[in-house]
Amino acid sequence: MNYFNGKHQNSKLIAKHICENVKNIENMTYVDPFCGSLEVTKYMTLMTKKTYANDLCPDLILLWNKVKEGKFKNPNLNLEKWNLLRNSKTPSAKRGFAAFACSVQGHWFSDFISPNKDENNNMVQYRTVASYHKILAKTDFYCLDYISFLQQILNSKTNFVVYMDPPPEFANPTPWKEPRKNFDYDFFWKVCRRLGKMKNVDIFISAIKAPDDFKIVNNFNNKTLDKLYTIN
Mean pLDDT for back-to-back runs of 10 residues, the chain (232 residues): 56 94 96 96 96 96 98 94 96 96 90 74 92 95 97 96 85 51 87 96 95 92 78 83
Query: How far apart (Å, rounded) are the C-alpha atoms in residues 102 and 115?
Result: 10
Q: In this predicted structure, what is the pLDDT of residue 220?
A: 80
Query: How far apart (Å, rounded) are the C-alpha atoms in residues 161 and 200?
Result: 8
pTM: 0.90
CATH topology of domain 7-230: Rossmann fold (3.40.50)
Query: How far apart (Å, rounded) are the C-alpha atoms in residues 25 and 6?
Result: 26
Catalogue the E-assigned strands of the chain.
29-32, 50-54, 139-142, 160-164, 201-207, 215-218, 227-230
Going from N- to C-terminal start, the domains of the chain cover 7-230
Strand-strand pairing, 29-32 and 139-142? unpaired
Tens digits of residue pLDDT in 44-80: 999 999 999 999 999 999 999 999 999 999 999 999 9
Query: How far apart (Å, rounded) are the C-alpha atoms in residues 41 and 35?
Result: 7
> Residue 140: helix, strand or coil by DSSP?
strand
Could you tell me which of 2, 46, 14 has the C-alpha nearest to residue 134?
Answer: 46
Residue 5, class by beta-carbon neighbours within 10 Å (0-12 exposed, 13-18 middle, 19+ buried)?
exposed
